[in-house]
Chain A
Amino acid sequence: MKVLLVLPVLIPAVTGILTLLLRRSRFAQRALSVLGAVALLGASSAVLWTVQTNGIQVAQMGNWAAPFGITLVADSFSAGLITISAFVAVAVAVYALRGMDVEREFFGFHTLFHLLMMGINGAFITGDLFNMYVWFEVLLIASFVLLVLGNEEKQLEGAVKYVGINLVASVSFLTAIGLLYGFTGSLNFADIATSMGNIQEAGLEATIAALFLVGFGIKAGLFPLYFWLPASYHTPPAPVAAIFAGLLTKVGVYSLIRIFTLLFPDPTGYTKTLLLVVAGATMVIGVLGALTERNVNRLLAFLVISAMGYVVMGLGFFTTLGLAGAVFYIFQDIPVKASLFLIGGVMERETGTTEVGKMGGLYMHRPLLALSFIVPAFSLAGFPPFPGFWGKLTLVQAGLATENYLIVAIALLVGVLTLLVVAQVWARAFWSPAREEGLVSTDSPLQRSVLQAPIVVIGVALLAVGLYAQPLFDLAQQAADNLTNTAPYIQAVLG
């Protein structure tokens, strides 16, 4: 157990270091990058399997017992997330073989990509508040450099906005950590959870919760803190955008769920209502932004925001069913968003434009691409039999069970509007008459299949999950059980 739980952090670290040292050889970098991602998938699956068979897994770093040292904890939620992230990482690593240019590769794309994965996995499996802050900074600095890699004007500009707001988010998170440490004297999640009852002042608890909400809300792109996301996610190349859209907002929302279920299990007063209001506004704003947007990447960025609203809605219900829906929604949304951004990249590559209206006729030219667009797009809109449908169905059930009819109505309405958005993209970019000038891409069939293969694999996986959702739903259910009943988590960490 000592070894296994470290591997999701260690493998990307080693891969990143090796690609840095071997930066002169493009071939070695690429081979290592793909191999590292595959190894990460293997290790993460092993963690998931162990968690499924033996329960929550814990590892103490440096053999310092909890709560004094740093603890790594994997429950069903964390283990599921690292496995799905690793799956997406493999897809992106393969896509980057063709979708990334030589210059960016030389300046360290592969290294930064794996260091980003290290930060993401670290944030998912750490059981220590300050350690989580450090992992956030690791993934942030890697994402900053990935965003500016290539030095184009629009990238620098997107990066200024992204960096500025994310630094403020980190400080908000750090302030909350400082306050919480001052009142509980501990940084270990499980240890803090046991002593949260000692905080006598309800106002202080609400302040700390609000600081966490602001910090993670910015990172997750929640209303009204989402402006940076559509201002920056469309600027980097497709593989970078895919990993950002698939994973970075999910880290924010994971932390939100983890902190709020573990440290603030019965929120006083307005927190629940606040979360539901934020969730509703996020869904609506995201989908309205996507409706008016003509640039395919910005459109997808707005859809990222909209999806976060559903997850926070599940958290706002604060029931096991609501959390199960939220967890399931995160699980399926990671590959959906990554694959949509990868498809967006191919669409831009084939047609030479980012304007949806000017693309046209992609269905005629690239039927496979069009088919693999259907799966994630209609999963996003919540169409059966795609996995997004099951996530939304569970969330709606949870909403009806807790009698929050208004938010359920909003969620359903947003679902319809999302359908309108993806149908519009489908009609304009894929189904409209073929372009007279044909496609501008000069990729050979082999190069094209390198770009297509990851998208098709994700599509097939999503379809399989949609048709047989039970295993993934069981995992989400188990994760939600652990989130609402925190005793096993605390027991596993503190022994």
Chain B
Amino acid sequence: MELILAVVSGTLFAASFYLLLRRNLLRFVIGIIILGNAVNLLIFTMGRLTREVPPVIPYGQKVIEGAYANPLPQALILTAIVISFGLLAFTLVLVYRNYTVSRTIDADRLTASEPEQDVDLHTQKKRLPA
């Protein structure tokens, strides 16, 4: 099980890096989403997987007897999910707002804040699609 989750997490990392390297800002945002999930899965796997024994103390007892699933990674992931949810909402609105002003989601055309000089090193036809 650990192996499967490790492979899934690795695949998610790879997919997100591919998206993060695109010039299209929407793809970039999707890459961030996938990256967050990849890390959450990684933390979950690193906390060791224990099946079918939730860390809940039975009624009337003081402690759990025997092995139980590690609750801490789940708490960490929950926190990380909440944080990335907030950040993602902000990022999406930011990209959208920026689009309404600059009319582009191509990262290379975001040059309003840059000094006015020719910085484009490649001609357009040599470039990969965004």
Check A-B contact in the complex, CB < 8 A: yes
Nearest-Cβ distance from residue B48 to partner chain A, whole angstroms: 8
CB of A126 closer than 8 Å to a CB of B:
no
Report whether B73 and A171 are in contact in the complex, using a CB–CB cutoff of 8 Å: no
Chain B positions within 8 Å of A427 at CB level:
none
Number of B interface residues in the complex (CB < 8 A): 36
Chain B positions within 8 Å of A174 at CB level:
39, 43, 80
Residue in chain A with minimal CB distance to B114: A231
Chain B 26-42 interface mask (CB, 8 Å, partner A; 1/0) = 00100010011001001
Chain A 144-179 interface mask (CB, 8 Å, partner B; 1/0) = 110010010111111111011001100100110111
Report whether A160 and B46 are in contact in the complex, using a CB–CB cutoff of 8 Å: no
Residue in chain B with minimal CB distance to A147: B94
CB of A182 closer than 8 Å to a CB of B:
yes
Report whether B46 and A178 are in contact in the complex, using a CB–CB cutoff of 8 Å: yes
Contact of A181 among B73, B95, B97, B114 (CB under 8 A): B73
Contact of A154 with B32 at beta-carbon distance under 8 Å, contacts A178-B42, A178-B46 already known: no
Contact of A171 among B35, B76, B94, B101 (CB under 8 A): B35
Report whether B112 and A157 are in contact in the complex, using a CB–CB cutoff of 8 Å: yes
Tell me, in angstroms, the Cα distance from A175 to B87 when the chains sit together.
17
Contact of A160 with B87 at beta-carbon distance under 8 Å, contacts A167-B32, A294-B115, A295-B115 already known: no
Report whether A168 and B35 are in contact in the complex, using a CB–CB cutoff of 8 Å: yes
Tell me, in angstroms, the Cα distance from A178 to B42 when the chains sit together.
7
Report whether A137 and B101 are in contact in the complex, using a CB–CB cutoff of 8 Å: no
Report whether A156 and B46 are in contact in the complex, using a CB–CB cutoff of 8 Å: no
CB of A114 closer than 8 Å to a CB of B:
no
CB of A418 closer than 8 Å to a CB of B:
no
- Size category, A interface: 35 or more
Report whether B98 and A181 are in contact in the complex, using a CB–CB cutoff of 8 Å: no
Tell me, in angstroms, the Cα distance from A294 to B114 when the chains sit together.
12
Report whether B97 and A179 are in contact in the complex, using a CB–CB cutoff of 8 Å: no
CB of A234 closer than 8 Å to a CB of B:
yes
Report whether A156 and B87 are in contact in the complex, using a CB–CB cutoff of 8 Å: no
Which of B62-113 touch A at CB < 8 Å? 72-73, 76, 79-80, 83, 86-87, 90-91, 94-95, 97-98, 101-102, 107, 110-113
Nearest-Cβ distance from residue B85 to partner chain A, whole angstroms: 11
User: What are 24 pairs between A and B in contact, CB < 8 Å?
Assistant: A130-B76, A137-B83, A140-B87, A144-B94, A157-B111, A160-B98, A160-B107, A160-B110, A164-B28, A164-B91, A167-B32, A168-B35, A171-B32, A171-B36, A174-B43, A174-B80, A175-B39, A177-B76, A181-B46, A182-B45, A183-B46, A235-B113, A294-B115, A295-B115
The interface of chain B, by Cβ under 8 A from chain A, is: 20, 25, 28, 32, 35-36, 39, 42-43, 45-48, 72-73, 76, 79-80, 83, 86-87, 90-91, 94-95, 97-98, 101-102, 107, 110-115
